[in-house]
Amino acid sequence: MPVLKRLQHRKLCVRLLTIRSPNPIESIMEYFTQQLINGLTLGSIYGLIAIGYTMVYGIIGMINFAHGEIFMVGAFHALIFYLLAVSLGFSFVPLALVLVLLLTMVFTGAYGWAVERLAYRPLRGSFRLAPLISAIGMSIALQNYVQLMQGARTKTLQPIIEGGFTFWHIGGSAVSLSFMQILIVMTTVLLMTVFTIVITKTALGRAQRACEQDLVMASLLGIDVDKTISLTFILGAMLAAVAGLMFLLNYGVIDFYIGFVAGIKAFTAAVLGGIGSLPGAMLGGLLIGLIETFWSAYFTIEYKDVAAFVILILVLIFRPSGLLGKPEIEKV
C-alpha cells in the first residue's frame, strides 16, 4: 500500500474510533440512569409491601410480622393461577393477567384476614408483646406451610411481558426501560392514589382514622372496630398480593423464603418513611430500592443490605419519627 493511501487509511480509522468511542461523562450518565430506573422499580415493590405494615400499625399500633409471608403467599398464588389459566386455554395475556390479579388478591386477602383472626384478635387485650410473638409464629407457620405444599426448590416463570424502550444510545449500549418496569411503576402510582382516596374520602377511611386515634372511643361512637381492623388487614394483604405478582413477573424466580427478606426490607422502608404514614411508606420503599440498587452498582453487592440499614439507623438517630412521620403525642 502506498504511503499516502496508508496515511489516509490511518486517518479514517482514527476518525471512526473517535466517532464510535463513547464520551466518558455520557457513559456515566447512561449507567446512572439505568440504575435509577432499576431502583425505582424495586422500590415500588417494597413500597406496596410497606403500605401494609404502616396501615396495620396506624390502627392497632403493632407491626404485622407475618406480612412478608403474606407477600410470599401472594407470589405463589399468582404463579399457580397463571399456570392454571394457561392450562385452561386463556391465551390472551392481558385477560389472563387480570384474572390472575383478581384471584390472587382475593385469596391472599383471605390469608390476611386469617392472620388477624388467629394472631391478633384473641390477644388484643393482652400485653403488647403477645400479639407480636403470635405474628412471628404465624410467619414461621406460613413459611413451612408453603414449603410443604410447594417444595423447597425455587419456582420459575418465563417472561410474559417482554419488550420496552431503548434510548440514549452510546457506543454499543443504551438505557432500557421495559414494559414490565413501566407497569410496576404505573400500578404503584394508581394504587397509592386509590388508597389515598379511600382513606380520606370514604366511610371506611373515616373509621380507620377514628380507630387510629382511639379504639375505645371509636367503639363507643358506633364504629365496628373488629370489622375495620379486619378490613385493614385484608387491604394490606391485597396490596402485598399485587406486589407478589409484580415481583414474579419482573424477576421470574420465587421460593418460600422471599417473604422474610422482602418483609424486612419493607418494614425498614415503613420505619424510614415514617411508620403510620402512607406517603412515608412509599417514599421509604423507593429510598430502600434506590440505596440497594446504587450500592450494588457502584460498590460491593454483599454490603447492600448493610448500606440500607445504616441509612435507617442514621434517620432514626436524627429523626426518630421517620422522614414523613409525626412524633407521637401521649395523652395524659
132, three cell numbers: 407480636
Grid cell locating 79: 404463579
d(CA 222, CA 218): 7
* Residue 131 DSSP label: H
**Grid coordinates given for 271:** 420505619
What's the distance, Cα to Cα, between the start and end of the chain in Å? 96
d(CA 79, CA 247): 11
pLDDT recorded at residue 90: 82
Segment holding 274, helix H or strand E: none
- The residue range of the domain holding 162 is 47-318
Q: What is the CA radius of gyration of the chain?
A: 24
Query: How many other β-carbons are positioned within 10 Å of the β-carbon of residue 47?
Result: 31
Whole-angstrom distance, CA of residue 96 vs CA of residue 91: 7
| pLDDT, position 332 | 47
DSSP type of residue 321: T
Q: How many domains does the chain divide into?
A: 1
Q: Which helix (H) or strand (E) holds 253?
A: strand 253-254
276: left (phi over 0), alpha (psi -120 to 50) or beta: left
pTM above 0.85, yes or no: yes
Enumerate helices (H) and strands (E) in the chain, giving the number of each.
12, 4
Check: CB of residue 259 under 8 Å from CB of residue 143.
yes
Instruction: Determine the longest span between alpha carbons in the chain, in angstroms.
Output: 101
**Does residue 21 sit within a domain?**
no
Secondary structure (3-state) at 170: strand
Structural domain includes residue 325 = no
248 φ, ψ (degrees, to nearest 5): -65, -45
Per-residue pLDDT of the chain (332 residues), as tens digits, is 454 344 344 443 444 344 444 566 667 788 888 899 999 999 999 999 999 899 888 888 888 889 999 999 999 999 999 999 999 888 788 899 999 999 999 999 999 999 999 999 998 878 878 888 999 999 999 999 999 999 989 999 998 988 888 876 655 567 888 999 999 999 999 998 898 888 888 999 899 889 988 888 999 989 999 999 999 999 999 999 999 999 999 999 999 999 998 998 898 899 899 888 888 999 999 999 999 999 998 888 888 888 888 888 888 888 888 888 776 655 54
190: left (phi over 0), alpha (psi -120 to 50) or beta: alpha
Residue 182 lies in a domain: yes
> Does the residue 25 lie in any domain?
no
Would you state the cell numbers that stand for residue 272, as one nine-digit string? 424510614
How far is 57 from 64, CA to CA, in rounded Å? 8
Q: Considering Cα of 115, then 121, then 127, then 128, what sign does the dihedral take?
A: positive
Exposure of 174 in the CB half-sphere (CA atoms within 13 A): 9
To which H or E segment does residue 172 belong? none
- 15 inside domain: no
Continuous segment of H or E residues that includes residue 112: helix 93-115
Q: Is 6 within a domain?
A: no
Q: Is residue 326 part of a domain?
A: no
At residue 126, the pLDDT reads 81
Distance CA 40, CA 281 (A): 14
